[in-house]
Structure 1
Amino acid sequence: MNKENTNAANFEAPLARVTRARAKALGTSGGMPPSSKPLQDQKRVLRVKSKRSALDENGVSAFATASFQHKRRAVLKDVTNISCENSKVNIIGATKVEKSRRDLSKKNAKVGTNVSVRTIPVQEDAKTKLAEELSKIKVAESEELTMPANLGKRVQEPNSRQHLVVEKIQTTKNKEEDMVCEKSIVTKDLDVVDIDSNLKDPQACSLYAPDIYDNIRITELERRPSIDYMEELQSDISPNMRAILIDWLVEVSQEYKLVPDTLYLTVNLIDRFLSHKHIEKQRLQLLGVTCMLIASKYEEICAPRAEEFCFITDNTYTRVEVLKMESEVLNFLHFHLSVPTTKTFLRRFVQAAQSSYEVSCIELEFLANYLAELTLVDYSFLKFLPSLIAASAVFLARWTLSQLEHPWNSTLEHYTRYKTSELKTTVLAMEDLQLNTNGCPLNVIREKYTQQKFKCVANLTSIKPVGSLFQRSE
């Protein structure tokens, strides 16, 4: 008798869901007492007890678990199980959802559900209620994802939430439209052409261009070379030696088809190094090829190797010497290679100058580049900022191409932030380079821009001297 009661107790609280195969195995092994009920009633009892056992383990019926398994995984985090007394458990559909509005990534629904069924026939009602609770939780969570993170009030109705979201979006849109309208009004009053209106070109960086150039205007002041290092520090080299070196580096850049940015960065690295480090004239060419190697690695897609720069110097220096100098230069400059050069500003200023033409003038771009490269050779132009040199090159190029109108307008003044009076000294010095009033024998840059691919802009000169513009303005 005790043995039968023990077997019956084990059957009343099975550890797993009882299937037909398991029931048969238990009956065969003696773990299940023989039943005197018909086969259909026995199956019904097995199904009822298997459902009850699953209910005791998981807190929800096996049927509900199978039907709403996906939703339970997404929503439920902690389900509290309560033991059954006399096969009666009260269904309490209490759901508690803690919502964090400031950090959507930490928002998890914590739901505590206590489930029971009074009698077997009312299990269908429990399933229905559980399905309704889970669907409400899912809807609440999906609506929470659409709510702004900074809302201070808790809104319970879904319609009120949607109304606030729509109102927030509409307010933001109105602010953006007001900013655009305000900008267009200012542009119209100043007669300034918006050169950043091409939002479809990703390479133009139209949305960030003003901020980018605000930043590099500050950087050009922080990382500019000394303007008098030849007189203060260098005793073994002269401005003429520097000019010869740079003129030769222009020829090297043509030989290896390097981009203009590489040449400008090379000259910048040379001047910054010479501003604080003394060097002998025997190592000046080594410094030049090393700085070009560094600039090539920074700017070029396929930079020439160190052996090629040794070869271009007729093997005057070995690969070991070049790499040693490279390490010395980089460590001295603390690897600060991102510096704005004249070419950096020239691109934007030429773009602003082209806005006054119905068709882009390619000669204007080539002539401005030619005048800017002439200043690389001349040591005296170190006293001018790169942005000032770029603005002066555009000014003189426009005047050289046409003397029918003033070369400076409100658009150029707006984007360069230089007035005509501020350009006078630089423009006059640049005109002397263009006319070669000093009789400089270094003609690599001139020969470069007399080629047909550059529209022979080196042969262009203005009929009227540019100085007459400043006399009129005064």
Structure 2
Amino acid sequence: MATRRVIPQQLRGDPVDVKNAAAKNRRALGDIGNIDSLPGVEGGKINRPLTRNYRAQLLGNAPVAAAANKKQTNVDKAPVLDGAQVVPKKPEAVRAVQKKGRAVKRQPLKPNIEVIVISPDTNEIAKAKEDKRNDESTKKVTYSSVLNARSKAASKALDIDSVDKDNDLAAVEYVEDMYTFYKEVENESMPQSYMQTQPEINEKMRSILVDWLVDVNIKLDLSPETLYLTINIIDRFLSLKTVPKRELQLLGVSALLIASKYEEIWPAQVYDLVYVTDNSYNNKQILVMEKTILGSLEWYLTVPTQYVFLVRFIKAAVSDPETENMVHFLAELGMMHYDTLMFCPSMLAASAVYTARCFLNKTPAWTDTLKFHTGYSGYQLMDCAKLLAFIHSRVGESKLRAVFKKYSKPERCAVALVSPAKSLLS
């Protein structure tokens, strides 16, 4: 089917009552009178002429008041000029005595009091020193040991971001912090086990739906990010709501519509989705289901899917095209099976890389660089890797062939034809 790319129609909304909106707004300061009500405020500047004049008068009259109150003893009265008394110069002897008196007053008095110093207990001193040493050792564990551990781990790992140091879009300065955050929040968006709560849906029906969505993703030429987000939306919705069998495909196309709007520049059109369902549903049904999904998920769409971790871990594996296609093949095979929902997205992605390297006989199967960037050891990935290898071993017997056909083509290195590793099947 040739997919037409049409710019989506402009979103419609209720008209805004500009007149009422303007009436509800008011000026932040002028209308509540918090400037005009202040006394002596002109143009926003506060003026206090009375206070300043009064202070000036006090400063001007200070020497006059001091001279008027001074007692005259054995000194002739000074002449008065313009209402102010002129104080004659003091003799040198008088100034020397006053200066000496002021110097004596400045010296603090030393009371004749005997001070008894009580020496602390030797046990208390020893305890205080021990507490200080413990505090210092705690600081060393908190900072030095952590930094040393990180530096040792990083010294064994390759710098996989050095090739992107001049690429601003790679965000080399923040990429490690970003993936640390992704691993912290990935469990929040993981779907719960839901088959026991779905009376009309079973695991086989889910596998058929995912296989069909893989084929639709190829026909509509959508990105892999859209596919992984679509499956995440479906599983999370089924964890919350009961869906009848006749609406399972409707759930799939509506989730695909949401994911394409989130990930694609040109999202899938509703009439395209009606066509791929062979007119089983109309436009209105798809849009109503889209609204129901978004309401149930509370518009929580920014989630770290398995694909987010696949991109980083494939880069850490320094993979060639064959290994990269094998990783995506195993990841999409695992996505079709309900049993893989028990593992978090980062572990599924790391296990896909581990299994692909085992299938292609890469030695070592798990490097220090992969351990550093994934946060998993080979032993931790063994259970999930064996499950992916088992699913791969049964792909030839399955009637669901969309993923197998996709990765059997030469442009994808025909990785679907590679035999599984016997070490993971034992």
TM band (smaller chain): 0.5 to 0.7
Q: Structure 1 residue 365 and structure 2 residue 324: aligned?
A: yes
Q: Distance in 1 between matches of 2:149 and 2:338?
A: 43
Q: Distance in 2 between matches of 1:443 and 1:242?
A: 15
* Aligned residue type for 1:346: L
Q: Structure 1 residue 258 and structure 2 residue 214: aligned?
A: no
Q: Distance in 2 between matches of 1:335 and 1:188?
A: 39
Aligned residues: 282
Q: Structure 1 residue 230 and structure 2 residue 200: aligned?
A: no
* Aligned residue type for 1:383: M
Q: Return the offset for 1:441.
A: 1.8
* Counterpart pick for 1:207 among 169, 173, 186: 173
Classify 1:414/1:316 alpha carbon distance in 2 versus 1 (closer, same or farther; 3 Å). Answer: same
Q: Structure 1 residue 389 and structure 2 residue 348: aligned?
A: yes
1:374 aligns with: 333
Query: What secondary structure does 1:465 align onto?
Result: helix
Q: Distance in 2 between matches of 1:391 and 1:465?
A: 18
Query: What secondary structure does 1:392 align onto?
Result: helix
Q: Return the offset for 1:203.
A: 2.3
* TM-score for the superposition, normalised by structure 1: 0.57
Q: What is the RMSD of the two structures over their aligned residues, measured on CA atoms?
A: 2.2
Classify 1:187/1:447 alpha carbon distance in 2 versus 1 (closer, same or farther; 3 Å). Answer: same
Classify 1:190/1:462 alpha carbon distance in 2 versus 1 (closer, same or farther; 3 Å). Answer: farther
Runs of 5+ consecutive residues of structure 1 not aligned to the other structure: 1-77, 79-178, 355-359, 469-474
Q: Structure 1 residue 441 and structure 2 residue 399: aligned?
A: yes
2:382 aligns with: 424
Q: Distance in 1 between matches of 2:281 and 2:233?
A: 19
* Counterpart pick for 1:309 among 269, 273, 294: 273
Q: Structure 1 residue 282 and structure 2 residue 240: aligned?
A: no
* Counterpart pick for 1:195 among 150, 160, 170: 160
8 Å CA contact retained: 2:261, 2:267: yes
8 Å CA contact retained: 2:358, 2:421: no
Percent identity, please: 38
Query: Which structure ranks higher in relative contact order (CA pairs < 8 Å, sequence separation ≥ 6)?
Result: 2
8 Å CA contact retained: 1:190, 1:410: no
Q: Return the offset for 1:194.
A: 1.6
8 Å CA contact retained: 1:196, 1:207: no
8 Å CA contact retained: 2:326, 2:416: yes
Q: Return the offset for 1:184.
A: 12
Q: Distance in 1 between matches of 2:283 and 2:408?
A: 35
1:6 aligns with: none
Deviations 1:186-210 (A, max 9, x none): 2587411122233211222111101
Deviations 1:412-465 (A, max 9, x none): 011100011111110000001111179322111001000111010111124542
Deviations 1:260-290 (A, max 9, x none): 0101000000000000101100111100000
* TM-score for the superposition, normalised by structure 2: 0.63
8 Å CA contact retained: 1:345, 1:390: yes
Q: Distance in 1 between matches of 2:187 and 2:424?
A: 28
Deviations 1:122-148 (A, max 9, x none): xxxxxxxxxxxxxxxxxxxxxxxxxxx
Q: Return the offset for 1:466.
A: 2.8
* Aligned residue type for 2:338: Y
Classify 1:235/1:445 alpha carbon distance in 2 versus 1 (closer, same or farther; 3 Å). Answer: same
